[in-house]
Chains A and B, each alone.
Chain A
Amino acid sequence: MQNHPFFQSIVFPPESVVLSFKGYLTQSVVDDYLATMEERLSQGGVALQLKKRLMNVAIEAVQNVYHHQEALSAETSDSDGFDLDSLVCLTSNLDGCYKLTTLNVVFKSRISELDEKIKWVNGLDAESLRKAHIELLGKTEFSEKGGAGLGFLDLARKSGKPIEYRFVDINHLCSYFILTLTIC
């Protein structure tokens, strides 16, 4: 098996990459990625609040990718001929902001639900995000995976910027779900 040509074509400008991973995201890769990222940010002298925001966003986003990849793997060994590999990449911009990009394979049947959730979150200002977060935290029951359905709200709140996202067709069954979070 192999990755889809789109996956193979993704390249980030090397000079801006803080840490990048392309491949099958295992539990130990998640742990290593987050530990290495924290180490690099500390070595780079990133201010405490920015470092904490970056780590908070990365913990949530990378764990999300891992959970989605695991859930998909449980249902299918491949996305109809292509690998289920994921991507996580943190880049730093000249303006002092960082971008965390994640990519994972999703069934097309999930696209409308994801699209709806992110559109809702992106439509909220900072105060409304906080209110919605408090309300949902107080009400939400756990999903089987132990998450609280608060993921996108938390990501938008911590990053302070709208969530950029898109879907790229792989085949009739699956798409790539690409998420970019800006943290300043």
Chain B
Amino acid sequence: MDKLIIEQGVKTPRIEFDPSGFMKITGRSVPENAIEFYHPIHEWINKLSVYPEAGFKLIVQLEYFNTSSSKCLLDLFRRLESIHLQGNCSVSISWLYDEGDEDMLESGEDYQQIVKIPFTFGKAD
């Protein structure tokens, strides 16, 4: 299966999802219609048939995201949660936020309460 790479747009984040286990979302996610943007990402996850032995690690490093994106991110986390809970492949999420951006940290903690995937939190470079 090919890597999924979507370059960063003015209102959409850069996506790099590698079937070998590395996944990263960076930038800002504030499109008016987030469903349209996240559809191919959700589809890519759905098509995964072979899982890496070391599991998946998703790095989320967002500057801003709107409520439309918040639901799409949750949909993405839910798909990964389903893989994680099957027991064959572990998934973890590394939530990175700008130093001093406590609201972004809180947003990550909110997701941690909703999905059953291990989260780690750290400052963005």
Give A residues with C-beta under 8 Å from B: 27, 30-31, 48-49, 52-53, 55-56, 59-60, 63, 66-67, 130, 133-134, 137-138, 140, 142, 145-148, 150-151, 154, 158
Cβ of B103 within 8 Å of any chain A Cβ, yes or no, is yes
Give B residues with C-beta under 8 Å from A: 10-11, 30, 32-36, 63-64, 66-68, 70-71, 74, 98-104, 106, 110, 113-114
Q: Which residues of A contact B63 (CB under 8 A)?
A: 52
Q: Main SS of the interface on chain A?
A: helix
Q: Which residues of B contact A150 (CB under 8 A)?
A: 67, 70-71
Min CB distance B71 to A, Å, is 4
Instruction: Offer 13 A-B interface pairs, CB within 8 angstroms, sorted by A.
Output: A30-B32, A49-B100, A52-B64, A52-B101, A63-B66, A66-B32, A130-B106, A137-B110, A138-B114, A146-B32, A146-B36, A147-B67, A150-B71
Q: A52-B101, A137-B110 are in contact. Are A148 and B64 (CB under 8 A)?
A: no
Min CB distance A58 to B, Å, is 10
Q: A27-B32, A60-B66, A63-B32 are in contact. Are A137 and B71 (CB under 8 A)?
A: yes
**How distant is the Cα of A147 from the Cα of B103 in the complex, in angstroms?**
20
**How distant is the Cα of A180 from the Cα of B10 in the complex, in angstroms?**
27
Min CB distance B82 to A, Å, is 15
Are A151 and B67 touching (Cβ within 8 A)? yes
Q: A66-B32, A137-B114, A138-B114 are in contact. Are A60 and B103 (CB under 8 A)?
A: no
- Given contacts A27-B32, A48-B101, A49-B100, list 18 more A-B pairs with CB under 8 A: A48-B99, A49-B101, A52-B64, A53-B103, A56-B103, A60-B66, A63-B30, A63-B32, A133-B110, A137-B110, A137-B114, A138-B74, A142-B71, A146-B34, A146-B68, A150-B67, A150-B71, A154-B70
Q: Which of A30, A52, A134, A138 contacts B103 (CB 8 A)?
A: A52
**How distant is the Cα of A32 from the Cα of B114 in the complex, in angstroms?**
35
Q: A59-B64, A148-B67 are in contact. Are A142 and B10 (CB under 8 A)?
A: no
**How distant is the Cα of A130 from the Cα of B113 in the complex, in angstroms?**
11
Are A67 and B32 touching (Cβ within 8 A)? yes
Q: Which of B10, B71, B74, B99 contacts A31 (CB 8 A)?
A: B10
Q: A59-B66, A60-B66, A146-B34 are in contact. Are A140 and B71 (CB under 8 A)?
A: yes
Q: A49-B101, A137-B114 are in contact. Are A55 and B64 (CB under 8 A)?
A: yes
**How distant is the Cα of A167 from the Cα of B106 in the complex, in angstroms?**
33
Are B35 and A134 touching (Cβ within 8 A)? no
Are B110 and A148 touching (Cβ within 8 A)? no
Are A130 and B110 touching (Cβ within 8 A)? yes
Q: Which residues of B contact A59 (CB under 8 A)?
A: 30, 64, 66
Min CB distance B8 to A, Å, is 15
Q: Which residues of B contact A27 (CB under 8 A)?
A: 32
Q: Which residues of A contact B113 (CB under 8 A)?
A: 134
